[in-house]
């Protein structure tokens, strides 16, 4: 009998963003490189990029709450990116709404914020790869 305990391990974690218009949001996240299958029930879609998932759920959200989150830079999700400068250039070239441009952080990385059409704020951060230019 094997008595060795198996340690549980979380293997994925996906943010779920609330959106007003699912089709518009899917189109926006495709600009950032996400791939989507068919929405489920007309109100839910899962985007995938590099083995990670982003879930979008169509539901009403409060405009006042979104304004407060934007004014205070409250994040809805944060993602790490290898080659952050190249990813930033990709997002800019594809028309992402940049809320805060790419800039060095106090902890030695670089990050930038994007805002989706529903006011969700995502931070992308990381270090430059050897292929990125300063």
5-58 tens-digit pLDDT: 777 676 667 899 989 899 999 999 999 999 999 998 889 999 999 999 999 999
Give the pLDDT score at 61. Answer: 67
**CA atoms within 13 Å, Cβ hemisphere of 32:** 26
Give the pLDDT score at 128. Answer: 65
pLDDT band for position 64 (cuts 50, 70, 90): confident
CB contact at 8 A, 123 and 110: no
Give the pLDDT score at 2. Answer: 62
Give the pLDDT score at 35. Answer: 97
Q: Per-residue pLDDT for 74 more than 80?
A: no
Which residues of the chain form beta strands (DSSP E)? 16-19, 35-36, 44-49, 52-58, 77-80, 98-104, 110-115, 121-126
What residues does 80 pair with on adjacent strands? 125
pLDDT digits (tens, 9 = 90+) for 83-125: 899 999 999 999 999 999 999 988 888 999 999 998 889 999 9
Give the pLDDT score at 3. Answer: 61
DSSP state at residue 87: H
CB contact at 8 A, 45 and 31: no
pTM of the model: 0.74
Cα distances (Å, whole numbers) of residue 66 to 61, 115, 119? 8, 11, 6
Q: Which domains does the chain have, with CATH numbers?
A: 16-60+72-126 (3.10.180.10)
If we measure between CA atoms, which residue out of 91, 74, 89 comes closest to residue 34?
A: 91
Helix (H, G, I), strand (E, B) or coil at 40: strand
Q: Which residues contact 63 (CB under 8 A, 6 or more apart)?
A: 119
């Amino acid at each position: 009998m094997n008595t060795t305990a198996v340690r549980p391990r979380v293997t994925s974690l996906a943010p779920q963003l609330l959106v007003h218009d699912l089709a518009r949001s899917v189109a926006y996240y495709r600009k950032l490189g996400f791939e989507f299958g068919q929405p489920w029930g007309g109100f839910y879609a899962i985007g995938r990029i590099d083995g990670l998932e982003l879930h979008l759920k169509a539901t009403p959200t409060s405009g006042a709450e979104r304004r407060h989150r934007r004014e205070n830079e409250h994040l809805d999700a944060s993602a790490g990116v290898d080659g952050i400068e190249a990813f930033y250039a990709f997002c800019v070239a594809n028309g992402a709404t940049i809320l805060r441009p790419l800039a060095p952080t106090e902890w030695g990385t670089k990050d930038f914020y994007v805002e989706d059409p529903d006011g969700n704020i995502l931070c992308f951060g990381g270090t430059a790869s050897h292929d990125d230019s300063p």
